[in-house]
Amino acid sequence: MPGQGGGASGPGRIPVSEGEYRLLQALARAGVSRGSLEELERATGIPRSSIASLAALLAEKGLARVEAVEEVEYKPSERGRRILEEGAPEERLVRLIAERGGEADLASLASTLGPEAGVAIGEAKRLGLIEVSGGKARLAVEPGEALERASRVRRLLEALARGGRLEPEELEALKRRGLVEESRRKRLIVELAASPLEVLSRVSVEIGRLTHEMLKSGAWRGQPFRAYNVRAEPPRVLPARMHFLAEFIEMLRDIMKEMGFREVRGPLVELELYNFDMLFQAQDHPAREIHDTLKIAEPREASLEGLESLLERVGRVHERGWGYKWDPRVAARLVLRSQTTSVSARLLASRPPEPLRAFTIGRVFRSDTVDATHLPQFHQLDGVEGWSGYTFRDLLGTLKEISERLGLEVRFKPAYFPFTEPSVEGYAHMPGGGWVELFGAGLFRPEVLEMAGVDYPVGAWGLGVERLAAAYYGIRDIRLLYTRDYDYIRSMPARRGW
């Protein structure tokens, strides 16, 4: 067990890790103090890769030496390998002659042995196993002895292939016939500075990981703790996170709530009635055309049931204001809302009592192709505020307050929106430089209030969320707000202000 079994600490002792200590113990048990990694692995049962790293650590502490030795290694060549499969040519020759009663025709031996016949006869003669005369070959010794001696080359090769060591003259015999090839490789030789027991007496074990077991057994007592390299970088981990855009939106919600506004919601698929007609946009207004507003394929129109009195007011105001025949079927068409002001329109149509303070944050849709500054869908914050005596300066005051709560300085500019008068745009000075349009705002036109049936002035504003969020997080490409990169979301730097 780690930390157990000796290695008491004491002054002058060299601290080693549990792994190093285990290696020393195993070497002591095996009585080995020097060897290659393979040899030490066999001796200790510790994998050679572990021995290599542990030995390096021991060497750093002066407890061992690790040296690289170049070794020449022999293994059977292609010819050698054929002998391993088929036997040596002289061996086959001797066997053939023995099978034929100790004497055979040279011509028939040559045809059976093929191109190796010459080598076979030459070697057999050199070894004194056969005699050749009169076109015949005959065994010069007993068949058993002849076979034994003729198979020597094969047996040497077998020993080599098994990893055994050969005597120099044996290797020479194989080399002479081209049956081996040599290769050189480096081997690490580990040698302890002294005998294992002597080294063990000089060291003490350090605790690596403190474990439950050690605490239970008290084995940690009296043991030093290994010091870590606390300057080293740890592995990278990323937290589970809320999405940064969602957090930005929640921040906006909190600002509106703190300023006394009530949150409302409305549908994404909307009647043109609320998206356009109630906002006093004429039915032939270009914004309603097919290339500006996304429409629903099916159903194309909503039922207008239950909206009779609202429709009556809307029709009356449109016909008076724009001098055309207003068509309820156009108001019934379904679109993906192009502005969250549709939610404000729904709210106004419910004729809320004064004082009114409400906001919504939601998705809106546009006929835009996705690029670094455009999305077909983004978020808007829409706010409304009004009561008897509410003024344009009140509206500017509220917009300025929102800007300041966002940490931004705002400048107002006259603007045009079909449903507000006076209209205003709020431009914010961004900390990075430059002015960005922050609000589109104004007092709802009397026509809008008349359609809704509201009898006090109401200010309204819209704020595009994504452009602001991108600036807040220092993102240049707005598409990154909708990234599908898991790690990007998890590693987004936190912001606590501009």
Partner 1 sequence: MPVLRFKAERLMSLIGLKDHAALEDVAFRLKGELEWGPEGEVYIELNPDRPDMYIGEGFARAARGLLGFEAGYTRPEAVESGVEVTARGVETRPYIAAAVVYNVNVDEEYLEELVQFQEKLHDTIGRRRRKVAIGFHDLSKLPSKRIEYRLVDIAEARMVPLHGDSEVTVERVLEETEQGRRYGSISLAGHKHPALLAGGVIIALPPVINSEVTRVEPGTRDLFIDVTGTDAAAVLSTLEVIVAGLSERPGARVGLVKVDAPKVRGVTPRLESRRMEVGASWASGVLGVELGPGELARLLSRARFNAAPRGDGDTVEVEVPPYRVDVLGPIDLVEDAAMMMGYDALEPELPQLRTRGSLDSLTLLARELRKLAVGLGFTEAMQMVLTSPRAVEALGLSGAAVRVANPVQVEYSVLRPSLAVSLLQFLAENQHAEKPVRVFEVGEVVWREGGGVAEDYRAALAFMGEEASFEDVQAPLYSILRILGVAFNAEEAELPWAIPGRAARLLDAEGGELAWLGEVHPRVLEALGIEYPVALAEVSLSAMAGGSGRFRIRGHATR
Nearer to partner 1, 61 or 285 (CB): 285
Place of tokens 């998705």: 363
Whether the CB-CB separation of 410 and 424 falls below 8 Å is answered with: no
Phi-psi region of 323 (alpha: psi -120 to 50; beta: other; left: phi over 0): left
Q: What are phi and psi of 185, to 5 degrees?
A: -150, 160
Nearer to partner 1, 220 or 412 (CB): 412
Give the closest residue to 397 by CA, choosing from 341, 459, 340, 452: 459
Nearer to partner 1, 263 or 312 (CB): 263
Nearer to partner 1, 143 or 328 (CB): 328
Least CB distance to partner 1 at residue 209 (A):
24
Nearer to partner 1, 183 or 388 (CB): 388
Nearer to partner 1, 174 or 402 (CB): 402
Instruction: For strands 203-205 and 14-16, give the pairing.
Output: parallel
Whether the CB-CB separation of 451 and 317 falls below 8 Å is answered with: yes
Least CB distance to partner 1 at residue 332 (A):
6
Least CB distance to partner 1 at residue 333 (A):
9
Measure the N-to-C terminal CA separation of the chain; round to a whole number of Å: 56
Least CB distance to partner 1 at residue 487 (A):
6
Least CB distance to partner 1 at residue 387 (A):
7
Dist. CA 6–CA 25, nearest whole Å: 10
Q: What single string gives the DSSP state of each residue in 218-262?
A: TTTTT-PBPPP-TTSPPPP-------HHHHHHHHHHHHHHHTTPE
Whether the CB-CB separation of 478 and 372 falls below 8 Å is answered with: yes
Nearer to partner 1, 208 or 321 (CB): 321
Nearer to partner 1, 133 or 303 (CB): 303
Least CB distance to partner 1 at residue 176 (A):
58
Least CB distance to partner 1 at residue 290 (A):
5
Which residues 6+ apart lie within 8 Å of 330 measured at CB? Answer: 272, 277, 283, 288
Q: What are phi and psi of 286, to 5 degrees?
A: -60, -30
Nearer to partner 1, 202 or 400 (CB): 400
Please say whether the dihedral angle defined by the alpha carbons of residues 462, 466, 470 and 475, taken in this order, is positive or negative: negative
Least CB distance to partner 1 at residue 367 (A):
5
Most distant CA atoms of the chain, gap in Å:
140
The packing angle between helices 117-126 and 106-113, to 10°, is: 120
Nearer to partner 1, 8 or 268 (CB): 268
Three-state DSSP at 281 gives coil
Dist. CA 154–CA 80, nearest whole Å: 8
Nearer to partner 1, 45 or 422 (CB): 422
Please say whether the dihedral angle defined by the alpha carbons of residues 49, 52, 55 and 60, taken in this order, is positive or negative: negative
Nearer to partner 1, 7 or 362 (CB): 362
Nearer to partner 1, 225 or 486 (CB): 486
Whether the CB-CB separation of 22 and 44 falls below 8 Å is answered with: no
H-helix segments, 419-481: 446-452, 465-473
Least CB distance to partner 1 at residue 337 (A):
11
Least CB distance to partner 1 at residue 257 (A):
4
Least CB distance to partner 1 at residue 317 (A):
11
Dist. CA 225–CA 209, nearest whole Å: 9
Least CB distance to partner 1 at residue 409 (A):
12
Whether the CB-CB separation of 196 and 20 falls below 8 Å is answered with: no
H-helix segments, 36-151: 37-44, 48-60, 78-86, 89-99, 106-113, 117-126, 143-150
Least CB distance to partner 1 at residue 432 (A):
20
CB burial string 352-370: b at 16+ within 10 A, e below: beeebbbbbbbebbeeeee
